[in-house]
Amino acid sequence: MVEELNPFIYDDPLAPDELIDRDEQTRLLLALAEGGHNTRLSAPRRYGKTSIILRLLAEADRAGLHTVHVDFYRCVTRAEAARRIEEAYLARLAGPLRRTVSALTRSWHTRLNVGAGGVGVQAERVRELDNQRLADLLDLPKRIFAKSAIRTLVAFDEFQDFLRIGAGLDGLLRSKIQLHREEASYVFAGSEPGMLDELFNGRGRPLFDQARPIPVGPLDDSDLAEYIGARFDGADRDPGVALELLLDLARGHPQRAMLLAHHLWEHTPRGQVADEETYQSALDAVDRETRERFERTWLDLGSAPAQRRVLAALANSPHSLYSKATLLAFDLDKSTVQQAARALAYAGDVVRVDGRFTTVDPLFERWLQRTQR
């Protein structure tokens, strides 16, 4: 008997045809890209930005655009950034266009090998060559357009890691993309919304007003219920009353909903209906899986005790964050709350909804309720 595969993926981006809803965002992103506009996905972490990018690129391929997806996750040097850009173009292009990219990259490999020996002054020369190489690679859309007369849609994922490599990279990028109006469109995404907001909204920053923000909010419960229910039905399982409990806890968080659904599916035998006991068993498994990660997050905040107290207050206080009762109970004052909440929002740990701060991750909030009460 072939073992059934759990249909709920929560630790990798979803395939384009598995993405839940996001139709409106995809249509808007594609229309803007075809019109020569740059965009950025504005959303908390683990809200499926990479999955949206993959779907967008698939739609753009069908629309006849060239597409490139560059992931800068944990990129720390200019040389590494150049390599990732190079490999992204070579992976997505074929025929004469791929040979155009390959010719450029081969020429740079030769120059770097010739100049790689020695230390001191020579090392400074290597850094200069890395900058020049990166500049040439960022200009690839112009070379591709010259060969094909077709626009390229370039997606820069985990963009904040690219900008952390060193000073001046946002200026270098601005100097290139402002000259690519006919040749390329760009979509930027990152897991630190506060940093991206500062980069694109700060009047003194090179990338100010260079990309239109496209908000990505929580998923509707109805869309999640339909997606989860259909996959349970296809495996002769019924999520039963557990589905409502799952939706209440997930609060539309895409990745957390898939994590909960994955474990609920595991605890619901074929031909059975999930009940409250089934849901609790699934929740216990989720708690075991996430406990160590949440403990690490809490330890990482050890140098920011005010942020710890604000998170605990958001999770546990029945009153508003700025109420006297909350301030007293969690040893806070309004100025401290304001500074700590702003820092947490910058890092993507909390978000303001209807004028009130709330914890982005509902499972982390649940952990805080169980451990910080």
**For the segment 237-269, what is each residue's pLDDT rounded down to a tens digit?**
999 999 999 999 999 999 999 999 999 999 999
pLDDT in tens, 326-358: 999 999 999 999 999 999 998 889 998 888 999
pLDDT at 75 over 70: yes
pLDDT at 59 over 60: yes
pLDDT for 193: 81
Q: Give the side-chain half-sphere CA count within 13 A for 6.
A: 16
pLDDT for 339: 96
pLDDT in tens, 33-56: 999 999 999 888 889 999 999 999
Give dist(CA 350, CA 364) in Å, integer: 11
- Taking CA 258 as the corner, what is the angle to CA 255 and CA 262, rounded to the nearest 5 degrees? 140
pLDDT in tens, 111-149: 777 655 554 446 677 778 888 999 999 999 999 999 999
Stretch 212-230: mean pLDDT, rounded?
A: 95
The number of angstroms, rounded, from the C-alpha of 165 to the middle of its chain's C-alpha atoms is: 18
The DSSP secondary structure of 1-49, one letter per residue, reads -PPPPP----SSPPPGGG--S-HHHHHHHHHHHHTT--EEEE--TTSSH
Q: Could you tell me the fold of the domain covering 22-215? A: Rossmann fold (3.40.50)
pLDDT in tens, 261-282: 999 999 999 999 999 999 999 9
Q: Categorize the per-residue pLDDT at 197 as very low, low, confident or very high, splitting at 50, 70 and 90.
A: confident
Type of residue found at 214: I
Range scoring the smallest mean pLDDT among 114-118, 172-176, 187-191: 114-118
164-199 per-residue burial string, b: 16 or more CB within 10 A, e: under 16 = ebeeebbebbeebbeebeebbbbbbbbbbbbbbeeb
pLDDT at 293 over 60: yes
**pTM for the structure as a whole:** 0.90
Q: Categorize the per-residue pLDDT at 373 as very low, low, confident or very high, splitting at 50, 70 and 90.
A: low
Type of residue found at 188: F
Q: Categorize the per-residue pLDDT at 4 as very low, low, confident or very high, splitting at 50, 70 and 90.
A: confident
Q: In the CATH scheme, what is the code of domain 303-373?
A: 1.10.10
pLDDT for 114: 62
